Chain A
Amino acid sequence: MSLAIVQTLSENSLPPSSVAEDWRAGGFGLYLHWPFCQAKCPYCDFNSHVAGDVDQVRWRAVLLSEIARVATETPDRVLNTVFFGGGTPSLMDPDLVAAILDAVRAAWPLANDLEVTLEANPTSVEAGRFRGYRDAGVNRVSMGIQALNDSDLRRLGRLHSVAEARNAFAIARNVFDRVSFDLIYARQHQTRAAWRTELREAMAMAADHLSLYQLTIEPGTAFGRLANAGRLDGLPDDDRAADMYADTQEICGAAGLPAYEISNHARPGAESRHNLIYWRGGDYAGIGPGAHGRLTLGGTRYATQTPLAPAAWLERVERAGSGELPRQVLAPFDQAQEYLMMALRLREGAQIDRWDKLSGSVDILQKINGLDGLNVLHCHAGTLALTDRGRPVLNAVLRELLAEV
């Protein structure tokens, strides 16, 4: 099927003609990381910290200085998207969000349809700030609802109830044009039937975008430690997890929210434009502790990174005028691999001519032949995409495609 996916590249001039301009096919976005949470969730391996009092004045100064620094390096670029991620950015003072977005508007020419997303926890306190965020310029929220079942919410370490989440979601729908929420499934002791029921309830909430993640036990998290100790029971095996993935595709597809990415579903046109920049191999600046970026400057693509610890990042910016650790040059071939790895997550797939240019014409079609008969990939009109069968085994497909290239 073909999807009418919004164009993010229109304002960034012409389609890419060379490796140096490859990023233009994906667009340009800004990611801001707010690392603080009220509590750390047992499954979360993101860079988040529990801190009581945050010096929002100091943070404002440092964030604004970083925006100015990145802007001088990327003059005249049209900014397509801004994303406040975390941590819990809905703990930010709306005034701080406003100051940041003012600075952003001053720093770059903006796309006409600039998308500004903020991740929010669905509590009543945070819902109370929604209007402030909207007035600051946020036009999309992504809510971490995670489950529609109170006992599972507690088990996932969430501080909200289902009732509170539904309430916050209703407020968000009133305040913002675009609202997405996250659910985590393949949870402990969750049956297929229970998930199908829960997912249908989610469909009824009329969001235009859903991120549906299978619970992944990451090392270094509380769940990871429990699993290592053999004390995390009731997790589905791979076969049941595969069934639940298939159920998810079926129910969301029928409800008009097909997957446009492995775990992301949207009504056509309501895809996360910011995240599409990642998956389409665009450029993005990462600001904040532990934020990653990909920037093509002077024909060279760089991977940028900052220190994980909030205090270390603040001090680095204040002392050195930049929060970044030394930049890594991404060779075109690394870029090619990243592009394939990310773009194959999308239903629209990867463009073979971009792969060819970045990889120096490593013959991907020959690799595809090795997967012949498995019905995991299809190649059509210059794009390479996973089939329904291939999507749940993407890592295995990538191992084949990128083996010995």
Chain B
Amino acid sequence: MGNRLGRTQDPTLMVLTSLTGGPKHGYALIQDIDDMTGITLGPGTLYGVLARLEEEGLIEALPAEDRRRPYRITAHGAAVLRERLEVTAKVARIGLRRLGAFT
């Protein structure tokens, strides 16, 4: 069940949330997301998301260190993340309340 739900998770949200804890390179992002959610992103999936977020100006790349380029969230990215998390939290609150009534 956990895996099935994991497939429906949005990696964009996970990456942005992970970057709110400070700049991270790809490997650190994978580790952090694994610790946060138990979901292991593959490198192809991660860099697809990073490329898109960078293109949309939600994150930016910092100078590379030892072939590892850290990424950090931009102000615009933080605003977008806040908006999405508020909606997600609202849905979660309503869902949990209704589930309480259901059981």
Q: Say if A and B assemble together.
A: no
Please list the residues of chain A having a beta carbon within 8 angstroms of any beta carbon in chain B.
none
Please list the residues of chain B having a beta carbon within 8 angstroms of any beta carbon in chain A.
none
